[in-house]
Amino acid sequence: MSAQPLVTVIIASYNHAPYIEESILSVLGQSYPYIELLVVDDGSKDDSVRRIRQLQQQYGFDFRVQANQGLARTLNDCISRARGSLFAPLGSDDVMLPERIATQVAYMQNKPEVGICAGNIEQIDGAGKTLEKRNRERPFRRLNFEDLFVSKKDCPPAPTLLFRREALEQIGGFDPDIMLEDLQVELKITHAGYYIDVLRDVLAKYRVHGANTYKNRRFMIDNVLKTYGLFKEHPAYERACARYINSMFLKCANQDKVLARELLRELPLRYWNGKTLRGLGRLVLG
């Protein structure tokens, strides 16, 4: 028996037929040998299931098809039947680089305080072409709850998250009532006393295309603020909400003026800052 831990990679597939094969093959092509791959199609309406079944017949990984349950419930179901002590959820449109899991497993050895290990990403377009202007080097960083809650440091990129099983179990897994899974679980795990260590290594490719969740700004705002509401007793709660609203107000001021005005009404005057003023300029002059 190997002393190396088993890593369970979970791919919840939903309407990503053009990308799902590359995503699965990137897991099967990992240099780290001790991987359990669980793939679930969560009610896709395209031909994802056909494409996945073809790969399953060739490689023999665990594949299940279900009516749509949402990502959080699907991840929790997979974790309940997984054998790994480490978990790596991977978007069905994203790609792991070959050394990703080996790099993270080696780093997490003898670091029980690290509940999540992450790394940097390379952003690509729908055709897989590198988006040079979006990519930049980022240094190693260790994040605690405060770093995440008030955005002191850059968040860990979602396609690179590797979770310790005990950390996930301690917080009760993913919350199906909050649709932005990553932030919620990161805050809960760091609130429980663990750290998130983000390596400087580029570990995955993040695909930028028309259906990315972050492009639905109203959805993002509603779910981020709902997530922050889990910690409304924290002294920094109002400041954390205001900082996020300010950031989104600036982003929306050019492209969604209705939403920008809604955000401005929610922002107490005492939290106005340079971003608020720049956003007001865009509202008036844009």
| Domain assignment of residue 246, given as a range | 213-285
Residues 6+ apart with CB under 8 A from 201: 99, 103, 119, 120
Structure tokens of 92? Answer: 């069905």
Domain match, 39 and 159 both: yes
Instruction: Kindly give the interhelix angle for 237-255 and 274-285, rounded to the nearest 10 degrees.
Output: 20
Express each pLDDT in 78-117 by its tens digit: 999 999 999 999 999 999 999 999 999 999 999 999 999 9
CATH number for 154: 3.90.550.10
Express each pLDDT in 26-52 by its tens digit: 999 999 999 999 999 999 999 999 999
Strands 35-42, 95-96: parallel, antiparallel or unpaired by DSSP?
A: unpaired
Last residue of a domain, one of 181, 207, 233: 207
Domain match, 270 and 157 both: no
Last residue of a domain, one of 154, 183, 207: 207
Domain match, 36 and 114 both: yes
pLDDT band at residue 1, thresholds of 50, 70 and 90?
Answer: very low
d(CA 233, CA 186): 18
What pTM was computed for the model? 0.92
Residues 6+ apart with CB under 8 A from 23: 11, 16, 90, 91, 92, 93, 94, 95
Domain match, 21 and 154 both: yes
Last residue of a domain, one of 178, 207, 236: 207
Assess if residue 220 is contained within a domain: yes
